[in-house]
Amino acid sequence: MQEFYRLIKGELLKQKRSFLWPVVIFTPLVGTLLTFANFCLRYDYLRGLAAKQNLSSWQLLLTQHHFLWAFFLPLVATIVASHVHYLEYKSSGWKQILALPVSRIKVYVAKWVLVFLLNLFMIIENSICLFLVGKVLGFPEIFDLSLFLTYTGYQIVAVSGLIGSQCFLSANLSNASVAMTIGFVGVASSLFFAQSEQLAKFIPYAHMIFTLPDPTINNAIALNYGFSCGLIFLGLGMIFFQRKEIS
């Protein structure tokens, strides 16, 4: 366990002066600021919309913010996964890491965990920022903690499939731009895939769209298939990385 902890610590140190930290920190801020601006400009209209649809202010906030965030998070997750692995190809760091008395599986999982932790940070920060938006706007209802915890949990499960697929691609493709391009195309096409629930089940890039806690949305796709895809791609990634030739 100490060996694995040292690997995680080493991964964090590599990113100490990386551009990833500003990206991870500011992405939720930018997303919630856009939602805040939307509410400031259209508050009366949105309140009327909430009344017609029988939504609380907090439900309306999540609904308005969700489809922006469902694109923001996967895009940044793709960048994070690509950059974490690209550093090793750029500096020929794979040889140095694999020369250490640690298994390839632990090396691969350590990078997966780092990518997951950075995404977890963004998801939690996003929820906190949305809470602050509601307070600043003076929502009349009591804060719906259960709704926000559910939304946060759904995202954590759903994003694991995307992380698994992008880590698999990024670790096994020496050209980071190829892995990023696949990710960007997948995210850009996610709304199209989401039109068919049968197809969306098997597309990790579309799972985030199904994380909004709403009766009209099939959350089982995000929970069941997001988690399953995460495990499958994590397993495939470990198998392929063990057999990969490092030049």
Q: What is the pLDDT of residues 116-144, one digit of tens each?
A: 999 999 999 999 999 999 999 999 899 99
Between the alpha carbon of residue 152 and those of residues 40, 120, 198, 244, the distances in Å are: 24, 9, 24, 35
| Residue in this structure with the two tokens 């600043």, named with its chain if needed | 136
What is the model's pLDDT at position 135? Answer: 95
Backbone angles phi, psi at 238, to 5 degrees: -65, -40
User: Which amino acid is residue 243, in one-letter code?
Assistant: R
Helix (H, G, I), strand (E, B) or coil at 205: helix
What is the model's pLDDT at position 73? Answer: 97
Per DSSP, the residues of 129-183 read HHHHHHHHHT-SSPP-HHHHHHHHHHHHHHHHHHHHHHHHHHHH-S-HHHHHHHH
User: Where exactly are the structural domains of the chain?
Assistant: 2-9+19-243
What is the model's pLDDT at position 177? Answer: 86
Distance CA 39, CA 194 (A): 26
Give pTM, 2 decimals: 0.93
Could you read off the pLDDT tens digit of each residue along the chain, which spans 247 residues? Answer: 777 888 888 888 888 888 899 999 999 999 999 999 999 999 888 888 888 888 899 999 999 999 899 999 999 999 999 999 888 777 666 777 777 778 888 889 999 999 999 999 999 999 999 999 999 999 989 999 999 999 999 999 999 999 999 999 998 887 888 999 999 999 999 989 899 999 999 999 999 999 999 999 999 999 999 999 999 999 999 998 888 776 6
**Token reading at 154:** 């759904």
Picking from 151, 203, 211, 166, the residue whose alpha carbon sits closest to that of residue 75 is: 166
Picking from 225, 106, 90, 62, the residue whose alpha carbon sits closest to that of residue 170 is: 90
